[in-house]
Structure 1
Amino acid sequence: MAKVLCVGSAVIDFVFHLETLPRQPRKYGTEEAAVVGGGCAANAAVAVARLGGRAVLGARVGDDRIGDMILADLEAEGVDTTRVTRNAGGRSSFSSVYIDARGERQIVNFRGTGLVLDTSWFGDLDGLDAVLTDTRRVEAAIDALKLARARGVPGIVDGEEPIDPEILAQASHVAFSLQGLRSLLPDTGLEEALAALAREHDIWAAVTDGEKGVWYTTPRGVAHVPAYPVRAVDTLGAGDIWHGAFALGLAEGQSEAEAVVFANATAALKCMQPGGREGCPDRAAVEGFLARHAQTGAR
């Protein structure tokens, strides 16, 4: 069973489903709402666990009710939270999330206060097969990626803006969102930007763009893998789950191309289910989906 360290944010999402996203300063009502776990690293860790890997989470929460909720939900998913930093007097992060009838979302996030992520325990981890980090805590991300380099395992970055260049310098793999990529090279074409960043930082680089699929670098240039055509009902957490699946794929020895396809299938299945990361599929569901939708090569 492959072991993945996921470093970054862990939150609680208060999710409201509406016909259209709010645009006016007035009250809105809904018959459908949920309280679910969220956060880039936490969502990725849940994906790793559901897909059959061992997920260790490096995150920070307060010693408040929200922190209790965050940890209880992750522990129920089988994520190892024993190394999560609990900050005395800290206020944990939470988000208000609106999702419209098309599955698109609008998020307001309180990032928390009085929170510090302890990384002193990173070197004590054994049997590590990959490291995945978001970009929210630069020092912690750099420490995590340095650990990956020291262990000779993939050091993967979920490339959401803002992106500190030192994070890229320490990574082996960076999968950008389109906004993350544009934040670095706003006036450069997508394929040209990927190739330039891959050369500059000596990394494998990709960009995910929802229903348009994934572009990634190869020795022969930039390849494209289409997204699976599905009816999306909820995209909340889909990108984070994509990164968790991709990291697990690399941890298990899949090639980058194979891991992209595996991650695309996982994210597609998630988008077909409501409830944020509660809609993340298990390994059997992903393998069944892949068997029904053979997609073996980049285009």
Structure 2
Amino acid sequence: MPELLCIGHAAWDLALKVATIPGPDEKARATARAAGGGGPAATAACTAARLGAKVAFAGRIGQDWAGDCLLDEFSAFGVDARFVRRTDAPTPISAILVRERDGARTIANHNPGGWLERLDWGGIRPQWVLADGHEPLLAEHWLGKAPMILDAGSLHPGTERLMRRVEVLAASERFAREATQHRDPKAMLAALAGWVPYVVITLGERGLVWAAEGERGAMPAFAIEAVDTTGAGDVFHGALAWALLRGKPWPEALRWAQGAAAIACTGFGARTWLPTADEVRHFLAAASLRDDCVEV
């Protein structure tokens, strides 16, 4: 029986490492490549499973080679894929360019097909649900039945449907800016804190800001040499779900999620460096923090 249900997007990623991101009508020679599963909710599911949670994923893939590869990866990570539906639309594909000097990436995604309307959930009773907004109709089934984390990477119709109705809003800086029309993290946080009980806005190398139960705070990022930041937010959300499942207090859960995401950024490929729980514990005990942090 899954304790965490992740609902949303699964894709097959092809990542190329380049010295510089090419502009229009330019070419770049890749120095390395990596192929593997991606997608916000799917990567969060693999992260939480790698940390030791019992996880199921619900979403849509195609009846093609990429879909076969994704199912193989779910099996390898121990993710329950019984709620994956294979449709006539091709499996979503992402092409990713990763800049060598700092791990920054540029992504193009092809995601054909529409939303799944319903599934037979077979009587499961997850303790937490994580949704990324790409399958909002499936996620809406669980509102009020289990606490939900919304992985809000960007503002789109799916995240708009869920963003004021969940228990935890885990937002990227881009989402927070688009949803609130503010640019200052303090103002963005103040706006989002009026929507849901728990909010975190991730700010990359500037750390994060959070609000919970009338309190607000900020945390600096870990000092690492990033190799590839692809999927860092997805890893953060999966690790946050794991920490909340294990009853960690909110600030401790956020720091745990930060640690897992930092580890993942030190390797090339979105899921290549997903950490175990012991690896996160060792990292947190030894890692250094950056000396810059946003004020709230």
Q: Same fold (TM over 0.5)?
A: yes
- Report the secondary structure of 1:275's partner residue: coil
| Root mean square deviation, CA, Å | 2.1
Instruction: Give the Cα separation in 2 of the matches to 1:142 and 1:189.
Output: 31
**CA drift at 1:118:** 5.1
Amino acid at match of 1:135: G
Normalising by structure 1, we get a TM-score of: 0.90
8 Å contact kept, 2:61–2:92:
yes
Q: Distance in 1 between matches of 2:93 and 2:75?
A: 18
SS of equivalent to 2:13: strand
Give the structure 1 partner of residue 163 of structure 2.
168
- Report the counterpart of residue 30 of structure 1 in structure 2: 30
Q: Distance in 2 between matches of 1:96 and 1:206?
A: 28
Asked whether the equivalents of residues 6 and 42 of structure 1 are also in contact (C-alpha less than 8 Å), the reply is: yes
Deviation at 1:221, TM superposition (A): 3.6
Partners of 2:106 and 2:183 in 1: CA distance = 27
Aligned match for 2:152, one of 150, 159, 162: 159
Match of residue 229 from structure 1: 223
Residue 15 of structure 1 pairs with residue 10 of structure 2: no
Asked if the contact 1:181/1:207 (under 8 Å) is kept, the reply is yes
Unmatched tracts of structure 2, length 5 or more: none
1:138 aligns with 2:136: yes
What CA deviation, in whole Å up to 9, does each residue of 1:113-132 have, x standing for no partner? 3x543533346213x22110
- Larger mean CA deviation between 30-39 and 206-215 belongs to 30-39
Distance in 2 between residues matched to 1:218 and 1:83, nearest whole Å: 32
Asked whether the 8 Å contact 1:2–1:251 carries over to 2, the reply is: no
CA contact (8 A) 1:195 1:221 kept: no
- Which consecutive residues of structure 1, in runs of 5 or more, have no partner in the other structure? none
Partner of 1:272: 266
The Cα offsets for residues 58-81 of structure 1, whole Å up to 9 and x where unpaired, read as: 110111121111111121111111
Give the counterpart letter for 1:76 in structure 2: A
State the shift of 1:99 in Å.
0.3
Which letter does structure 2 place at the counterpart of 1:243?
H
State the distance in 1 between where 2:140 and 2:27 align: 43
Aligned length: 288
TM-score by length of 2: 0.90
- More divergent stretch after superposition (211-220 vs 249-258): 211-220
1:35–1:202 CA distance, 2 compared to 1 (3 A): closer
Residue type of the partner of 1:214? L
CA deviations on 1:140-177 (whole Å, 9 max, x unpaired) are: 33234x1xx224xx310011222444302320000100
